[in-house]
Amino acid sequence: MVKNIKAEVKNLTFSYDKAAPRPVLNSVSLPVFENSVTALIGPSGCGKSTLLRCFNRMHDLYGAVKYEGKIILQPSGFDILSNEVDPLEVRMKVGMVFQKPNPFPKSIYENVAYGLRIRGIKKKSYIDDKVEDSLKKAGLWREVNDRLKASASALSGGQQQRLCIARALATEPELLLLDEPTSALDPISTAHIEELVGELKKAVTILMVTHNLHQAGRASDFTAFMYLGDLIEFGESSQVFTNPKEEKTENYITGRFG
Amino acid sequence: MKYKLKRQLTEKLIELLLFLAAASSVLITFFIVYTLVTEAFPFFKEVGLRDFLFETEWTPLFENAKYGIAALVSGTLLTTTIALCVALPFGVITAVFLSEYASARVREFTKPLLELLAAVPTVVYGYFAMLLVTPFLQKIFPDLSGFNALSAGLVMGIMIVPYVSSLSEDAMRAVPLSLREGSLALGASKFQTSFRVVIPSAFSGIASAFVLAISRAVGETMVVAIAAGLEPKFGFNPFGPTETLTAYIVQVSQGDLPQGSVGYRTIYVCGIVLLLFTLTFNIIGQTIRHRMEKKVK
Ligand SMILES: Nc1ncnc2c1ncn2[C@@H]1O[C@H](COP(=O)(O)OP(=O)(O)OP(=O)(O)O)[C@@H](O)[C@H]1O
Ligand SMILES: [Mg+2]
């Protein structure tokens, strides 16, 4: 199966601190294929979250960081890391879901509508449709359609995380970033989200950090293995997990370190 | 054995002392309320409740005395409202700046300055209002009287800003970073995040700040006594003189009213009305907070 590239990381070197002797990401290059799930795996501290947060310029919020290289969004050829690009514009195109569910202290409806409202959309019928559509995509509609005005904090952890996914979907991002989206959830909610990720990729390209190798094996099409800021291996998940090319990858997935 | 007994005794003694210390403030509060009520009670034997509530003039020391509390209440509400119109928006905006925009260095520099604003004696604010703000405002509003509710209210508002900003800032800084990131990751600007996520999340703290501000404004005495004119007037004209409950109390307690006279009792009556005011606002504030906390939780 030949897939289109949705985003392409080209020689990305990144440091949190300009003076740091060693960059946190070291000339990473990686394709992200359209309508597929790409998993980022690797031992703690290897730079998975750092790489993910380059995709929506989250680092820019916390002072002077240093990007070198490019992340090109296709088909527009838009360079996410370019100095001329406004990070807000990037975040309008690239959605993100965090490790811990972080619904706003608003109603379920307003949580999903938030991204539309900040874009200045006011038309109620449009927002209504989008809220319903996003909740359906996130597999939450049936559970909440009778209490959209209720507070989001009354939902369970797993429901809150699906709400956060719905919130990110409402603005139709080109790319969806998930940073360990199930690490704060129980096994049933986790299975639910994994299933959902499999469904969602039909509509949006997904890049997901995970610590759970089974999850990466089950839920992803491609896997990238990182180690100490280097991208060690990238390939189809079936290949990376059954027949890794690199020794480090093999050691990691067989549990010999990490 | 003897040692153990001694230790138990000291423990008991300490416990008793602590209890007395805690009980004393409650007792004092009760005592104040008791005095207010007993001293004020005879007033209502001489002045009907009807006149008290529906009369619009307050002239207890005149020959033809009138006891319409509405005059003082409207004065209090007027200056309080003007003060809040300044203190609430400026306080919240200052808090947003300090918590969301300012760098650590700017914050370290600004906060002590703000606290200084709260440390200035209120009598200084009173003269500031009368001698500087009023003449300045008279250039804009030529009809403004020399004593007026407007400048007293405005200056009182400035005085209360630090109370609002400090509590609100604490509440905003307690909002988890993850909520801000959630908003920013959706493409929201810092401004949108501050006003649509941070402020609503900090609402219960901001509401307490508002309640404190209202209590401060209702209870403030010096500024209004100096700059607003000590002329009880029913109505809500910010450009004219007025008198508040507190200002009336200082005004008459300085004269020598015969103990037990109706005029003397008005002091206690005003005290009760003031107490009811602050109590009401506190209860409203508590209710809002509880409701919001339930919602956020
Ligand atoms: N804000 C920051 N400032 C400076 N250094 C940071 C910052 N965040 C992370 N780092 C460093 O960057 C490196 C990569 O961190 P990162 O959070 O990307 O790892 P990770 O692979 O996501 O780890 P985990 O699996 O534990 O989440 C680590 O050495 C970490 O100490
Ligand atoms: Mg991480």
What integer pLDDT is reported at residue A258 of this predicted model? Answer: 53
Residue type, A96: M
Could you tell me which residue, B123 or B289, shows the higher pLDDT? B123
Residue A175's φ and ψ, nearest 5 degrees, are -140, 140
Q: How many C-beta atoms surround the C-beta of residue A8 within 10 A?
A: 17
Q: What is d(CA B56, CA B52) in angstroms, rounded to the nearest whole number?
A: 9
From the CB of A54, is ligand 1 less than 6 Å away?
Answer: no
Question: Could you tell me if residue B53 is inside a domain?
Answer: no
Of A106, A115, A151, nearest to B186 by CB-CB distance is A115
Per-residue pLDDT for B1 more than 90?
no
Q: How close, in Å, is residue B192 to chain A by CA atoms?
A: 7
Question: Could you tell me if residue B161 is inside a domain?
Answer: yes
Question: Could you tell me if residue B246 is inside a domain?
Answer: yes
From the CB of A210, is ligand 1 less than 6 Å away?
Answer: no
Distance A171 CA to ligand 1 centre (A): 28
Q: Do B74 and B148 belong together in one domain?
A: yes
Q: Do B182 and A100 touch (CB under 8 A)?
A: no
Of B176, B188, B200, nearest to A118 by CB-CB distance is B188
State pLDDT tens for residues A146-205. Answer: 999 999 999 998 899 999 999 999 999 999 999 999 888 888 888 888 988 998 998 899
Q: Do B276 and B221 belong together in one domain?
A: yes
**What CATH number corresponds to the domain at position A240?**
3.40.50.300
What integer pLDDT is reported at residue B48 of this predicted model? Answer: 86
Give the dihedral of Cα atoms B184, B186, B187, B193; nearest 10 deg: -40
Q: Do B28 and B143 belong together in one domain?
A: no
Q: What is d(CA B183, CA B190) in angstroms, rounded to the nearest whole number?
A: 9
Q: What is d(CA B80, CA B153) in angstroms, rounded to the nearest whole number?
A: 7
Q: Do B12 and B115 belong together in one domain?
A: no
Question: Could you tell me if residue A105 is inside a domain?
Answer: yes
Q: Do B38 and B185 belong together in one domain?
A: no
- Give A160's Cβ-side CA count (13 Å radius): 21
Of B181, B187, B200, nearest to A88 by CB-CB distance is B187
What integer pLDDT is reported at residue A1 of this predicted model? Answer: 58
Stretch A231-256: mean pLDDT: 88
Q: How many C-beta atoms surround the C-beta of residue B292 within 10 A?
A: 19
State pLDDT tens for residues B184-227. Answer: 999 999 999 999 999 999 988 999 899 989 999 999 999 999 99
Residue among B9, B44, B57 nearest B233 (CA): B57
What integer pLDDT is reported at residue B3 of this predicted model? Answer: 84
Q: How many C-beta atoms surround the C-beta of residue A23 within 10 A?
A: 19
Question: Could you tell me if residue A184 is inside a domain?
Answer: yes
**H-only helix segments in chain B:** 2-40, 43-46, 49-54, 70-96, 104-119, 122-128, 134-140, 149-173, 177-185, 190-193, 199-201, 203-219, 222-227, 245-254, 262-296
What integer pLDDT is reported at residue A216 of this predicted model? Answer: 87
Residues of B in contact with A57 (CB under 8 A): none
Owner of token pair 């947003």: B96
Q: What is d(CA A35, CA A39) in angstroms, rounded to the nearest whole number?
A: 13
State pLDDT tens for residues A75-129. Answer: 888 899 988 899 999 999 999 999 999 999 999 999 999 999 999 999 999 999 9
Q: Do B41 and B97 belong together in one domain?
A: no
Q: Do B83 and B38 belong together in one domain?
A: no
What integer pLDDT is reported at residue A214 of this predicted model? Answer: 86
What integer pLDDT is reported at residue A218 of this predicted model? Answer: 86
Of A58, A105, A153, nearest to B185 by CB-CB distance is A58
How would you label B149-168 residue by residue, b for 16+ Cβ within 10 Å and e otherwise?
A: bbbbbbbbbbbbbbbbbbbb
According to DSSP, the residues that pair with B58 across neighbouring strands are B67
Contact A7, A55 (CB under 8 A): yes
Kindly identify which residue of chain B lies nearest to residue A117, measuring between CA atoms. Answer: B188
Q: Do B181 and A102 touch (CB under 8 A)?
A: yes
Element (H, E) at A177: strand A175-179
Q: Choose the mutation target among A53, A59, A61 for the interface with B, i.e. most B CBs under 10 Å.
A: A61
**H-only helix segments in chain A:** 48-54, 87-93, 108-118, 124-137, 141-144, 157-169, 187-200, 213-219, 237-242, 247-253
Question: Could you tell me if residue A258 is inside a domain?
Answer: no
Q: Do B117 and B157 belong together in one domain?
A: yes
Question: Could you tell me if residue B52 is inside a domain?
Answer: no
Owner of token pair 């989206």: A181
**Structure token pair of residue B56:** 């619009």
Q: Do B111 and B36 belong together in one domain?
A: no
Number of domains composing chain A: 1
State pLDDT tens for residues A55-82. Answer: 999 999 887 888 899 999 988 888 999 8
First to last CA, chain A: 32
Per-residue pLDDT for B294 more than 90?
no
What integer pLDDT is reported at residue B259 of this predicted model? Answer: 82
Q: Which domain holds residue A147?
A: 5-253
What integer pLDDT is reported at residue B295 of this predicted model? Answer: 61
Q: What SS3 class is residue A61?
A: helix
**Structure token pair of residue A216:** 């990466």
Question: Could you tell me if residue B231 is inside a domain?
Answer: yes
What integer pLDDT is reported at residue A188 of this predicted model? Answer: 86
Pair type for strands A94-97 and A230-236: unpaired
Q: How close, in Å, is residue B94 to chain A by CA atoms?
A: 21
Distance B211 CA to ligand 2 centre (A): 42
Give me chain B's average pLDDT, please: 91
Number of domains composing chain B: 2
What integer pLDDT is reported at residue B297 of this predicted model? Answer: 52
Give the dihedral of Cα atoms B112, B114, B119, B121; nearest 10 deg: 150
The size of chain A, in residues, is 258
The residue nearest atom 9 of ligand 1, judged by CA position, is A50
Pair type for strands A37-41 and A222-227: parallel
Per-residue pLDDT for B260 more than 90?
no
Q: Which domain holds residue B254?
A: 70-296
User: Using beta carbons and an 8 Å cutoff, which residues of B are at the interface with A?
Assistant: 176, 178-179, 181-189, 192, 196-197, 200-201, 295-297
What integer pLDDT is reported at residue B240 of this predicted model? Answer: 92
Contact B221, B72 (CB under 8 A): no
**What CATH number corresponds to the domain at position B109?**
1.10.3720.10
- Give A154's Cβ-side CA count (13 Å radius): 12
Residues of B in contact with A176 (CB under 8 A): none
Q: Do B91 and B181 belong together in one domain?
A: yes
Q: Could you report the predicted ipTM of this complex, rounded to two decimals?
A: 0.92
Give this prediction's pTM: 0.86
What integer pLDDT is reported at residue A184 of this predicted model? Answer: 83
Q: What SS3 class is residue A154?
A: helix
Contact B78, B149 (CB under 8 A): yes
Q: How many C-beta atoms surround the C-beta of residue B140 within 10 A?
A: 7
**H-only helix segments in A62-137:** 87-93, 108-118, 124-137
Residue A52 CA: nearest ligand 1 atom is 18
State pLDDT tens for residues B137-193. Answer: 999 999 999 999 999 999 999 999 999 999 999 999 999 999 999 999 999 999 999
